[in-house]
């Protein structure tokens, strides 16, 4: 679709988010859409993750959505002396891609990602209006080789945000996941560029805010929603950016020296027997801790080993 059609889709989304039920004639007159073409726009919104039905000449949105208030977010960040340029887009392939193409520091967030990225090029599901997809680009005055552990620091920031809203049950999973009782609730993707003198980190965060059951079924692992009652995505994003800002200041000064304790306090795998999948091989080990460089230390038959990157899971007992 062209830009005008995309604008109509966004406008229809906002109309439905306000009322949930709206007459087709009103949509046609308000958005200047031919009655014959409304089905096409509804189909596009359904493809983006909404659940819209047409009954008795009315559009029915089956769940209430939390709509972003961009001015509210910007004003609250300015009050906290955060001046990083912030950009909202209704739809994009990936907020990380937008942040990477921006020359300076930036914050990008959206309502829908068509090609959201997770770690190891996995797809991150971001259905329209039901998740949080945000990317923050930040410049560091040290070399790329010193950026190790940024994912650990950001994990602490995400956990601190949840705790701010009294969600204390979420835990951290090395290297970049946040888990709840029913499964994964958030993921972190760090992408970086630079040299031995300076570098730039792209911090991508995806959060399952209020996905439907059907959307959770499409995810290739157990997952769950944040489930914070009475809190909008606006308030959550403001708090999240504030927490990340504090963590970035601390990480720039001291790396993980003063943050690793917070990670350990929320690490779900400490002292567990785990399965380690790395380089197309798998073995069992005891999870010991994450070190001050963000690397995982495990105990195997050959002794303690340090792992830089791998997929891990709790070892299932053999019957």
Span 64-74, pLDDT tens digits: 888 999 999 99
Tens digit of pLDDT for each residue in 262-272? 999 999 999 99
- In whole angstroms, give the CA distance from residue 40 to residue 161: 39
Is residue 113 classed exposed, middle or buried when 0-12, 13-18 and 19+ CB atoms within 10 A define those classes?
buried
Tell me the DSSP string of 155-195: HHHHHHHHHHTT----EEETTTEEEETTEEEEEEEEEEEE-
pLDDT for 120: 62
Q: What percent of the chain has pLDDT over 70?
A: 98
The pLDDT score that the predictor gives to residue 159 is 98
Residue 139 has pLDDT above 80, yes or no: yes
Entry pTM: 0.95
- The per-residue pLDDT for 1 is 58
d(CA 31, CA 7): 10
Q: What pLDDT does 254 receive?
A: 98
Prior bond of 190 cis (ω within 30°): no
Distance of alpha carbon 131 from its chain centroid, rounded? 8
Q: Maximum distance among all alpha carbons in the chain? A: 72
pLDDT attached to residue 319: 55
Residue 122 scores a pLDDT above 80? no
* pLDDT tens-digit readout, 39-94: 999 999 999 999 999 999 999 999 888 899 999 999 999 999 999 999 999 999 99
For 282-290, which contacts have Cβ atoms below 8 Å and span 24 or more sequence positions?
A: 284/315, 287/312, 289/264, 290/152, 290/174, 290/260, 290/263, 290/264
> Average pLDDT of the chain?
95
Q: Which residues contact 257 (CB under 8 A, 6 or more apart)?
A: 292
What pLDDT does residue 118 have? 73
- Residue-wise pLDDT for 303-318, tens only, equals 999 999 999 999 876 6
Per-residue pLDDT, 239: 98
Average pLDDT over residues 203-208: 98
> What does the pLDDT read at residue 318?
60
The answer to whether residue 158 scores a pLDDT higher than 60 is yes
Residue with tokens 């993750």: 49
pLDDT of residue 280: 85
CA atoms of 208 and 233, how far apart (whole Å): 11
- List, for residues 226-258, the tens digit of each pLDDT value: 999 999 999 999 999 999 999 999 999 999 999
Give pLDDT, residue 252.
98
Is it the case that residue 189 has pLDDT exceeding 60?
yes
3 band by pLDDT with thresholds 50, 70 and 90? confident
Q: Please, what are the domains in the chain? A: 3-61 (1.10.10.10), 70-265 (3.30.930.10), 269-314 (2.30.30.100)
What contacts 24+ positions apart, CB below 8 Å, involve 162-167? Answer: 162/226, 164/239, 164/243, 165/228, 165/231, 165/236, 165/239, 167/226, 167/227, 167/228
Mean pLDDT of all residues in 198-207: 98
pLDDT in the model for residue 160: 98
Contact 190, 202 (CB under 8 A): yes
CA-nearest of 153, 149, 134, 211 to 180 is 211
| 260: its two tokens | 């690793």
What share of the chain has pLDDT > 90, as a percent?
Answer: 90
Better pLDDT: 104 or 318: 104
pLDDT score of 5 more than 80: yes
- What is the model's pLDDT at position 121? 64
């Amino acid at each position: 679709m062209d830009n005008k059609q995309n604008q109509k889709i966004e406008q229809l989304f906002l109309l439905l988010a306000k009322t949930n039920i709206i007459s087709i004639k009103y949509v046609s007159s308000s958005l200047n859409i031919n009655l014959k073409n409304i089905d096409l726009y509804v189909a596009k919104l359904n493809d983006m993750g909404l659940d819209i039905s047409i009954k008795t000449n009315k559009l029915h949105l089956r769940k209430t959505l939390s709509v972003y208030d961009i001015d509210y977010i910007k004003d609250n960040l300015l009050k906290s002396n955060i001046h990083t340029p912030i950009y909202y887009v209704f739809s994009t392939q990936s907020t990380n891609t937008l942040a990477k193409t921006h020359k300076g520091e930036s914050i990008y967030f959206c309502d829908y990602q068509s090609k959201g990225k997770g770690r190891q090029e996995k797809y991150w599901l971001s259905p329209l209006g039901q998740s949080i997809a945000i990317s923050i680009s930040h410049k560091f005055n040290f070399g790329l080789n010193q950026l190790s552990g940024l994912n650990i620091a950001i994990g602490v920031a995400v956990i601190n945000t949840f705790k701010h809203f009294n969600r204390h049950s979420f835990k951290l999973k090395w290297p970049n996941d946040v888990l709840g009782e029913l499964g994964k609730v958030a993921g972190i993707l760090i992408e970086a560029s630079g040299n031995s003198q300076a570098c730039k980190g792209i911090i991508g965060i995806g959060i399952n805010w209020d996905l439907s059951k059907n959307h959770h079924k499409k995810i290739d692992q157990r997952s769950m929603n944040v489930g914070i009652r009475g809190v909008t995505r606006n308030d959550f994003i403001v708090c999240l950016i504030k927490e990340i800002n504090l963590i970035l200041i601390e990480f720039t000064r001291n790396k993980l020296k003063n943050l690793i304790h917070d990670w350990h306090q929320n690490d779900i795998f400490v002292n567990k027997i785990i399965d380690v999948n790395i380089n197309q091989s798998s073995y069992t080990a005891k999870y010991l801790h994450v070190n001050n460089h963000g690397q995982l230390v495990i105990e195997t038959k050959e002794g303690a080993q340090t792992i830089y990157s791998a997929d891990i899971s709790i070892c299932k007992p053999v019957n």
